[in-house]
Amino acid sequence: MNTKSILESLILKEIIPRQQAEKILEFETQKPFSIHWELRSILYLGISLLTSGLGILVYENIDTIGHQAIITVISALIATCFYYVYKTRQPFQWSEINQTTKYGDYSLLFGCTLFLILEGYLQFQYNFFGTRYGIAIFIPTLLFFLLAYRFDHRGVLSMAITGLASWLGITISPMSILTKNDFSSPGLIATGTILGLALCLIGWLSETRNLKKHFAFTYLILGGNLAAVTGLTGVFNQEFKIVYLLIVAMLCLFLVYYARNSQSLIFLLMGVIYGYFLISYSLFAYLPDTILAAFSIYYFMLSSVGVLFFLLNVKKILGLKK
Amino acid sequence: MKKGYNESWVQNLFIQSTARSWSKNNLLTDGQIDQVEATYPESFYRPGIFVKIGLFLFTIFGGSFFAGFLSLFFFESAGNKTFAILCLISAVCYYFVLEFLIKERKLFHSGIDNALLYMANLAVITFLLVLFEGLEFWQYCLFVLLVNGITSLRYADLFTVFITITSVFVLFASFLIKFPIGKSLLPFAIMILSAAVYLLNKKIESLYYQECQKLIKIVVLITFYLGGNYYIVRQGNALLADLATNNAPEIPFAIVFYIFTAAIPLFYCLKGLKSKDRIFLVVGLLAVAFSCFTFRYYFDMLAIEIILCIAGSVLILFSLLIIHYLKTPRFGISDDVSEKRKLANLEALLIANQFGQAPEADSVKFGGGNFGGGGAGNDY
């Protein structure tokens, strides 16, 4: 079944006239082959390789290349990037800027990454910030937040959020949230939960107040994951079990509610999975053993069928449109 | 083989989506689209990707506990035979539920059916493994091939197709390495098999297996390239001969494989651009990257960081030049944004992962995290 046979059958059913079919066929044979995303991926890869290379080069040759030379070159690159971004800027607005310039996004990202390298180098070589590491992390974080909002860049926003979290001592990026954090310290769990909830709140506000509505996803996914993971860890091994339990339960309800409002099903999935964890854990932790013995054989089977039923009928239950 | 899913619905689904792509380009009116949908109806249940993931996970979860539940009845007479019977019973249950749900809930690759199919196949294969102990490797391979091949024909599932095609290659290779002559001709044999599968795959025209055929094409393009890749051949050769793998000895016909390593990726890219075939183009680009790795591995002239810098600069310049060159479409190739950025949100998360490693407070080697991450950077 190809274009021609589909068109033939549409003509037979008298949905389209023959003339229109010929026009469509002409469009199909003439339409150009777009390699837009392939080229953009190559560009990303190039930026990623070049910044990695520069990063290593700077550290390996710290004694041989003149410091001034390194700083000058990197600063010049940063200045060029930011100048380009500045020159091609669009007027600020609270909604998504649809038609950004061709390289503005990439240039901004490149500049920000170089900025991190430069700052690290200054600290390593000249002890620029002394032992006040907090400031060293806080400066790029603040800068990135400003840049993200001014130039409407989700990637830089996520870099800023990551920076904010690491200022508080937490690794937040989705791939390493579980492996790189030390969840045995109670302080970290509390901080993580509060930060996660705060990010969720900001995301919710951006969505409802229409302040950079499209940033909500980034805030919510990073914040929601952080709050849920730290909260669940709190439920598992902290003193204030009940507080964390309530927090995670509220969070899960919020995620499902948000999914319903924004029609974004990834939050539904998050809410369901974290909620399921929470409920199963609480049942097994708090129910008396005699009930558990009879009940646990059936629990997982029946509960997963229940979740499947919920997901299958989620459109009806939550009134989703799509 | 009777198809598992309603074939005319699959066809109608394809017609609908093609019609929708035309209406996006203002070639069909809204009224015509409604007419198309009325004339070619389908009522598959196809949830979004995230609901699909949830359904898949919870089906696996529930299914495994169902098997555990069954095993309670066999608890007293534990042994190999009972385990085999247990596998068979669960497989029958899974297949039954699978068929039932496809009929009743009109599932179409919606997570639940994928999960049930994989669990059922796994159970059947385990049953065969337990029943026939002490067979040779290729015979087990044959089991995997048969179970997945037959179910692929019925359900056209991507994962089972992938397992099927992989086991074809493994079976073929494990046959050949039994003979000395087969061992030395293995790379060419793999390439010939890939080409044969490619041509066969191209001949079949079936809407039902459309996605599977794309997957098979990707797999055989990759195996064809790897079969001729110098690094793979040299390392594989050493591995088969049980020699030290770190510095594998030179292989015969080295020059032939060098030529393959260089020529195949270029051929893929050109073919992709010429016949507007995205699969060829993307596999070709990835193959170019792997070829660069191969040459760099054997001709170690420059330090890694310098290569990274040069490669990065070249890639940036290259892509910028091409983007500039394609401002107006040439040779039927353009730089238009044909589809809106659906993945903008995920892209942002990827950036957080790659570039966003902010300086760490407590380490002395304080700086751009792991040097700004850099996907491929760490592998060198």
Q: Does B100 touch chain A (CB under 8 A)?
A: no
Asked if residue A20 is part of any domain, the answer here is: no
Asked if residue A226 is part of any domain, the answer here is: yes
Residues A202 and A305 placed together within one structural domain of the fold:
yes
Does residue B369 have a pLDDT over 60? no
Residue A6 to residue B333, Cβ atoms within 8 A: no
Residues A163 and A191 placed together within one structural domain of the fold:
no
Asked if residue A25 is part of any domain, the answer here is: no
Asked if residue A27 is part of any domain, the answer here is: no
Residues of chain B found within 8 Å of residue A133, distances taken between Cβ atoms: 359, 361-362, 366
CA gap A213, A219 in Å, rounded: 11
* Banded model confidence at residue A162, pLDDT cuts 50, 70, 90: confident
Rounded mean pLDDT of A81-89?
82
Does residue A98 have a pLDDT over 50? yes
Could you tell me which of B215, B216, B217, B210 has the C-alpha nearest to residue B11? Answer: B210
Residues A218 and A281 placed together within one structural domain of the fold:
yes
Mutation pick from A50, A218, A303 vs chain B, by most beta carbons of B within 10 Å, is: A50
Per the structure, how many domains does chain A have? 2
Q: What is the pLDDT of residue B360?
A: 39
Asked if residue A262 is part of any domain, the answer here is: yes
Across the interface, of A15, A159, A308, the residue whose CB is closest to B355 is A159
Residue B352 to residue A174, Cβ atoms within 8 A: yes
- Given the structure tokens 């793998």, which residue do they identify? B245
Last residue of a domain, one of A135, A167, A199: A167
Residue B349 to residue A134, Cβ atoms within 8 A: no
Rounded mean pLDDT of B276-289?
88
Residues of chain A found within 8 Å of residue B65, distances taken between Cβ atoms: 300-301, 304
Rounded mean pLDDT of A35-50?
81
Q: Does A161 touch chain B (CB under 8 A)?
A: yes
Q: How far is CA B373 from the centre of its chain?
A: 25
Residues A94 and A153 placed together within one structural domain of the fold:
yes
Above pLDDT 90, what percent of chain B?
24
- Give the ranges where chain B is alpha helix by DSSP (H): 7-24, 30-39, 49-71, 80-104, 112-131, 137-155, 158-176, 180-203, 210-228, 230-240, 254-274, 278-298, 304-325, 344-354
Residues A155 and A256 placed together within one structural domain of the fold:
no
Q: Which of residues 22-61 of B touch A (CB under 8 A)?
A: 22, 25, 27-28, 32, 35-36, 39, 45, 47-51, 53-55, 57-59, 61
Residues A115 and A246 placed together within one structural domain of the fold:
no
Residue A133 to residue B377, Cβ atoms within 8 A: no
CA gap A174, A270 in Å, rounded: 13
Separation in Å, CA of A55 to nearest CA in chain B: 5
Q: What is the pLDDT of residue B332?
A: 73
Q: Which residue in chain A has the smallest CA separation from B375?
A: A48
Separation in Å, CA of A222 to nearest CA in chain B: 8
Across chain B, mean pLDDT equals 81
CA distance readout (Å), B266 to A132, A292, B332: 52, 63, 19
Across chain A, mean pLDDT equals 80
pLDDT (tens digit, 9 = 90+) per residue, A61-79?
Answer: 666 667 777 788 888 888 8
Residues A220 and A126 placed together within one structural domain of the fold:
no
Residues A134 and A230 placed together within one structural domain of the fold:
no
pLDDT (tens digit, 9 = 90+) per residue, A211-240?
Answer: 888 888 888 888 888 888 888 888 887 677
Q: What is the pLDDT of residue A102?
A: 63
Separation in Å, CA of B213 to nearest CA in chain A: 14
Residues A194 and A321 placed together within one structural domain of the fold:
yes
CA gap B58, B60 in Å, rounded: 5
Q: What is the pLDDT of residue A174?
A: 60
Does residue A85 have a pLDDT over 50? yes
Q: Can you give the residue range of the structural domain that contains A240?
A: 187-322
- Given the structure tokens 């380490």, which residue do they identify? B363
Residues A139 and A202 placed together within one structural domain of the fold:
no
Q: What is the pLDDT of residue B364?
A: 31
Residues A161 and A193 placed together within one structural domain of the fold:
no
Higher per-residue confidence, B217 vs B380: B217
Residue B15 to residue A27, Cβ atoms within 8 A: no
Higher per-residue confidence, A2 vs B338: A2
Q: Which of residues 189-248 of A touch B (CB under 8 A)?
A: 214, 217-218, 221-222
Does residue B282 have a pLDDT over 50? yes
Residues A55 and A145 placed together within one structural domain of the fold:
yes
Q: Which of residues 55-74 of A touch B (CB under 8 A)?
A: 55-57, 59-60
Asked if residue A221 is part of any domain, the answer here is: yes
Q: What is the pLDDT of residue A34?
A: 77
Least trusted range by pLDDT, from B43-52, B209-218, B337-346, B357-366: B357-366
Asked if residue A109 is part of any domain, the answer here is: yes
CA distance readout (Å), A75 to A20, A69, B65: 58, 10, 59
In sequence order, the β-bridge partners of residue A33 are B333
Last residue of a domain, one of A106, A135, A167: A167
Asked if residue A31 is part of any domain, the answer here is: no
Residue B51 to residue A314, Cβ atoms within 8 A: yes
Residue A50 to residue B313, Cβ atoms within 8 A: yes
